[in-house]
Amino acid sequence: MTVRRGDGLGLEITSTVIRGVRLAQDEPRRAAAVCEVPISRFEDAADVLDALVRARGRLGDVALPTRVAWFPPGSTLQRTDVTGRSAAELNQLRHRLADDLGVTSTMLVDLDARRWMLALRWDHQRAWWLQELVERAGFVDVTIEPAPLSLERTLDRDVTIARRDASAERCWVSIFDRLPVAAATIECDGREHPGLAATTRLPGVTDLDEILDEQTLAQEVARVAALALATVDRTTELDARLRVLDEPYPPFPSHDLRAPQRVAVALGAGIGAAGLAGRLREVDVLTALRPTSDITDRPWAVERVTDVADGPTPRSPWGWARRRRRSVR
């Protein structure tokens, strides 16, 4: 199968469900196929792999670029302007964020003439584990990105705050300004899921110009979201205002797997995988920060080759040949 611009797969993965979307060049403004597959035990790699294999089959069993939207509990995200910084300066900033604030994952996003760095706190080792399982399930060209970034690709530009209730155990809130400004997971309060609540209101936001520590950032995002979404219970299919390539997404009813409140995040991931959202970069991880105490000793790395003592140095055969020539003369 030839991969064309506009063909791609998007997955939203939580601890209890996988939501998938396949986009096709022939129908770029709506999903060519969708699926929802439950996960019984997320800690069991075999169970997750089985769910991923079933999801791939329901999406058409095709080899297309795949992006996975993931934002596990305890994750935070905050952007900072890095326009004009060199590679060395960006690397220096990454190390400073890691040393001072525990940010080990970053992502660069270009928007018009500006470049932003998304400072991401999440379990990057778990992300690698999940990416490996997705690849083992048969998906190709797999990359994992924070779910707020995926959702932003489908929202109206005037949406400033959105709350995503992905499952009973996975809820997060993000502040937007054409890109995620900040995001954090929050406690689920029993709202109906899957759910999406969005607003164009923006109460006073403070202290988001500089990268905050994890607790302060989570508190600020939760405070702003509580004020902005106080009068918004959940977004219905009629007022979701999702867009794909600047065209409105169809208002499928809530029980339909294509409903906007169900596929919003997976659809955004699929838009990225299909090459419809401009240049995309992968999440950068400072692997050098791995503690040396976790390194396993391997005494067999340097092995003894033999116990036999060195023998006499062999004489050159050319010396014997010269002696024979002399004796013949």
Average pLDDT over residues 195-209: 77
Average pLDDT over residues 164-173: 87
Query: For all residues of the chain together, what is the average pLDDT?
Result: 83
pLDDT band at 315 (very low <50, low <70, confident <90, very high): low
Q: What is the pLDDT of residues 231-250, one digit of tens each?
A: 776 776 666 778 887 788 88
How far apart (Å, rounded) are the C-alpha atoms in residues 107 and 149? 10
How far apart (Å, rounded) are the C-alpha atoms in residues 73 and 122? 8
| Domains parsed from the chain with CATH numbers | 8-283 (3.30.420.40)
Average pLDDT over residues 3-8: 81
List Cα–Cα distances, 245 to 6, 155, 177, in angstroms: 11, 11, 18
List Cα–Cα distances, 282 to 54, 110, 144, in angstroms: 26, 12, 7
Q: Kindly report the pTM of this predicted structure.
A: 0.81
Q: What is the pLDDT of residues 110-155, one digit of tens each?
A: 888 899 999 999 999 999 999 999 999 999 999 999 999 999 999 9
Cβ-based neighbour number of residue 174 at 10 Å: 28
